[in-house]
């Protein structure tokens, strides 16, 4: 069965601290996609990154970095030098099969609060 677990319900940090959001997934498919979305208080889900199951190369994009490890079924997300504008709910999601446009299975989200 497919499942995404975000064990951290809420995280509070002070501005400029680094923070890592954890994501663990379950799937029987060998081909799948993993995503991170950000949901600010306005409600709109903002796409951050997509990774397919064949691409374990980790990436750094500005203050964001991602760590994908198939051996532990984890896809963690790190914000370096956090800012108040990073405050939002962050969702990890899984899409099974060969197309990234298949249905997304979301975790329950992690609320990140960055204090000034």
Report the residue number, 17 or 48, with the smaller CB distance to another protein: 48
Q: How far apart are the first and last CA of the chain?
A: 41
108 near another protein, rule: CB under 8 A:
yes
By C-alpha distance, which of 32, 22, 12 is closest to 115?
12
Long-range contacts: 49-56, Cβ < 8 Å, 24+? 49/77, 50/100, 51/75, 52/100, 53/29
- Subset of residues 25 to 64 that bind another protein, contact rule: CB under 8 A: 35, 37, 42-47, 50
Binding of another protein at residue 99 (CB under 8 A)? Answer: yes
- Is the Cβ of residue 76 or residue 95 nearer to another protein in the bound state? 95
Residue (of 111, 91, 114, 92) closest to 33 by Cα position: 92
Shortest CB 88 distance to another protein, Å:
13
Contact pick of 41, 71, 101, 116 for another protein (by CB under 8 A):
101
The binding site for another protein (CB under 8 A) comprises 4, 35, 37, 42-47, 50, 91, 93, 98-109
């Amino acid at each position: 069965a497919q499942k995404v677990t975000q064990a951290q319900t809420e995280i509070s940090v002070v501005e400029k601290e680094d923070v890592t959001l954890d994501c663990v997934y379950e799937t029987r498919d060998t081909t799948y996609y993993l995503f991170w979305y950000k949901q600010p208080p306005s409600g709109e889900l903002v796409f951050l990154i997509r990774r397919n199951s064949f691409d374990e190369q980790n990436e750094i994009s500005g203050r964001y970095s991602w760590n994908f490890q198939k051996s532990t079924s984890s896809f963690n997300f790190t914000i370096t030098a956090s800012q108040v504008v990073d405050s939002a709910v962050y969702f990890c999601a899984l899409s099974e099969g060969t197309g990234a446009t298949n249905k997304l299975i979301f975790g329950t989200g992690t609320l990140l609060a960055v204090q000034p």
